[in-house]
């Protein structure tokens, strides 16, 4: 278990960072944070959801640093907090794409002994500090990715941190992480954005009336934050383009069955899909 004397520094107080802050503060930890929006920090201090700004963290006492900013802002934030990086017991993150984070670390030649990457699978179409909440990670999975020089202390601290936050950790290497999430998260978002975009351009006057038959369900995630997703599409571009290619080939096959009025094969296609979907817990 993590000792309560360990301080926590959070860079980026959005939905993920904010939820980490609220949960750990409630458990008695001293949490300090920075955010691009200074009012967020002021309000969080006023509401006693954090102890103070990141500058107030005492560098002579053990601390953990967590970067929860949009994927392509992390480079800049790492450099800004360079001094803290080397002193931290653990440096982690909450990002959905890992290769760009790794590139920034290599480019800046940071010592990575205390780095373990984290990706809590707890996101939704909501974003921002206002949508953060204590307990967000309860019974969720956090994917952790070790770096070649990660120490056992850093690994243990990271697992303890997520256990304290209520999440179970699963190990995944960096390449697999970015490949899997391209398929199971980034592609679904790509599709939801494209489908909603297509409907929004329709000239039908009642295009926003009959949306209860599936459209609203399938496109809930199209309400996600544009800056966050711009960064994901750019930074995990190659894996995402590969996933899009597979998806296009699958819709071509299914479309052909409909063109050919092949009832039996349409039924089989749906049955196979339903069976796999029903098996997901």
What SS3 class is residue 51?
coil
CB of 159 to a copy of itself, least distance (A): 18
Site string for a copy of itself, 135-154 (x = CB under 8 A): -----xx-x-----------
Q: Which is nearer to a copy of itself, 10 or 191 (CB)?
A: 191
How many amino acids of this chain bind a copy of itself (CB under 8 A)?
Answer: 89
Q: Near a copy of itself by CB under 8 A, which window of 77-85, 99-107, 151-159, 266-274?
A: 266-274
CB of 273 to a copy of itself, least distance (A): 4
Q: Which is nearer to a copy of itself, 78 or 196 (CB)?
A: 196
DSSP-H helix ranges across 55-112: 74-80, 82-87, 99-107
31, 50, 89, 196: which one contacts a copy of itself (CB under 8 A)?
Answer: 196
43, 131, 233, 242: which one contacts a copy of itself (CB under 8 A)?
Answer: 233
Considering only residues 236 through 255, tell me which ones interact with a copy of itself, judged by CB under 8 A.
237, 240-241, 244, 246-251, 253-255
* 211 binds a copy of itself, rule: CB under 8 A: yes
Q: Which is nearer to a copy of itself, 157 or 236 (CB)?
A: 236
29, 63, 129, 181: which one contacts a copy of itself (CB under 8 A)?
Answer: 181
CB of 183 to a copy of itself, least distance (A): 6
* 36 binds a copy of itself, rule: CB under 8 A: no
By the 8 A CB rule, do 159 and 2 touch? no
Q: Which is nearer to a copy of itself, 47 or 250 (CB)?
A: 250
* Chain centroid offset of residue 82 CA: 23
* 118 binds a copy of itself, rule: CB under 8 A: no
* 155 binds a copy of itself, rule: CB under 8 A: no
Q: How far apart are CA 149 and CA 156, in angstroms?
A: 14
């Amino acid at each position: 278990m993590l000792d309560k004397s360990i301080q926590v520094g959070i860079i980026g107080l959005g939905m993920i960072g904010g939820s980490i802050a609220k949960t750990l503060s409630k458990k008695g930890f001293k949490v300090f944070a920075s955010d691009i929006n200074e009012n967020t920090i002021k309000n969080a201090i006023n509401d006693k959801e954090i102890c103070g700004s990141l500058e107030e963290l005492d560098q002579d006492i053990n601390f953990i640093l967590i970067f929860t900013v949009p994927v392509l802002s992390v480079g800049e934030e790492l450099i800004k907090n360079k001094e803290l990086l080397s002193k931290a017991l653990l440096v982690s993150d909450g990002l959905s794409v890992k290769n760009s984070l790794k590139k920034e670390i290599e480019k800046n030649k940071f010592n990575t002994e205390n780095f373990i990457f984290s990706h809590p699978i707890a996101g939704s179409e909501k974003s921002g500090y206002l949508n953060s909440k204590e307990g967000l990670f309860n019974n969720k999975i956090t994917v952790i990715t070790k770096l070649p020089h990660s120490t056992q202390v850093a690994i243990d601290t990271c697992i303890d941190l997520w256990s304290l936050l209520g999440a179970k950790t699963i190990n995944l290497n960096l390449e697999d992480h970015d490949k899997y999430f391209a398929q199971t998260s980034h592609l679904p978002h790509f599709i939801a954005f494209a489908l909603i975009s297509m409907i929004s351009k329709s000239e039908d006057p009642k295009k926003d009336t009959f949306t209860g038959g599936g459209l609203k369900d399938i496109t809930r995630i199209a309400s996600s934050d544009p800056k966050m997703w711009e960064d994901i599409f750019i930074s995990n571009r190659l894996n995402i383009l590969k996933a899009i290619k597979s998806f296009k080939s699958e819709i071509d096959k299914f479309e052909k069955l409909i063109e050919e009025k092949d009832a039996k094969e349409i039924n089989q296609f749906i049955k196979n899909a339903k069976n796999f979907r029903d098996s997901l817990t």
